[in-house]
Structure 1
Amino acid sequence: MKKLNPNKLYVEYRDGTTKKSPILNRKYTLTHSDETGDLFLTIGLNYAYDKISKKMRDEVLATWYKTYNGSYALYVNVFVDDPTKFTYKSSLRRNEIFIRELPLALQAIFYGDRDLLKTNPELYNAPIYIKFNSMYPCIDRTEYWLTPKDYMVK
């Protein structure tokens, strides 16, 4: 697994969010620069659609929600289908890239929002669910991806 370089992560808070609150409806938009390798994490009550490339659609979107038993879970969305090609082969390739890069993306989210986790330690053990969105049924799925404590930068 690639390791996050904290010097390449830039965090922005919006919409009344702070480093410590709120948890519920807190939304993460993670984008990156192919040229510099920089990661850009926007934390707000809404996704930062202004930061999303309409051409690539390789952002990671995530939000906290409460489960049926009152605990928290993180739900992450990625858009696997290539918006420029829409072929099965290109979707398979992008799926492989997301699987390879998602651990780094999760490290960035949890490092960038580490004060929220420190303030709310129950979040360290919250389940993470990744929704791989695709028009192809064999790629379109939801997977369990461990907990935030498994992606903390040491």
Structure 2
Amino acid sequence: MSQFKPEKLSVEFRDGVTPSNPILTRHCTLTHSDITAELFLTIGLSFAYDKTNEMRDEVRGEWVSKESSILFYVYLAVDNDTNPIQAAIRDYIFRKELPLALEAIRYGDRKLFEVYPKLDNCHIIVHFIAKCPNLNKVEDYGTFSKYNTLN
């Protein structure tokens, strides 16, 4: 896994979202540049599909209220209509880089966590979306406290 470098992260807040509000309608879209290794976090009331590309290798996340709990759902397009070998490679890369992506989201949205510290204890539920049944999974990745490494 690569090491998160805050200086490589750019954050954009879209209309209707501030660094500390809202929570439940807040959507995060994390994209990157393969060339510069820069990360781009867009936080808005919906996912920033205008920031994504045909590779669909972004990390999308949203805060969800479920059964009196707040969870952070992450969506990853694993197979992207590719062959099974490519899908397995994408799955491997997503799994390898996901901790860095979660750390970037936690850092980029740190003001939200300062205002609502209990969000650090919310579980991160990752949806690996794939047509291939053995790659189509939902997994608990722990809480954001695990990805708050720059304190």
Equivalenced residue count is 150
CA RMSD in angstroms, aligned pairs only: 0.9
Instruction: Give the Å deviation of 1:2.
Output: 3.1
Counterpart of 1:71 (choices 69, 80, 83) is: 69
Q: Which residue of 1 aligns with 2:40?
A: 40
Aligned amino acid, residue 69 of structure 2:
S
Distance in 2, matches of 1:103 and 1:59, equals 14
Q: Which residue of 2 aligns with 1:15?
A: 15
Counterpart of 1:104 (choices 100, 103, 111) is: 100
Distance in 1, matches of 2:125 and 2:69, equals 14
Runs of 4+ in 1 over 3 A off after TM superposition: none
Deviations 1:4-38 (A, max 9, x none): 10000000000210000000020000000000000
Unaligned runs of 5+ in 1: none
Shift in alpha-carbon separation, 1:82–1:67, aligned structure 2, 3 A:
closer
Deviations 1:63-90 (A, max 9, x none): 001120x22110000000144xx21111
Listed as ranges, the matches of 1:1-150 within 5 Å are 1-54=1-54, 56-68=55-67, 70-83=68-81, 86-150=82-146
Name whichever structure is richer in strand by fraction. Answer: 2
Distance in 1, matches of 2:10 and 2:32, equals 10
Contact 2:125 2:141 in 1 (8 A): yes
Contact 1:15 1:46 in 2 (8 A): no
Contact 1:4 1:153 in 2 (8 A): no
Instruction: Give the Å deviation of 1:153.
Output: 2.6
Paired-residue identity, %: 45
Contact 2:80 2:130 in 1 (8 A): no
Unaligned runs of 5+ in 2: none
SS in 2 for 1:146: strand
Q: TM-score, normalised by structure 1?
A: 0.95
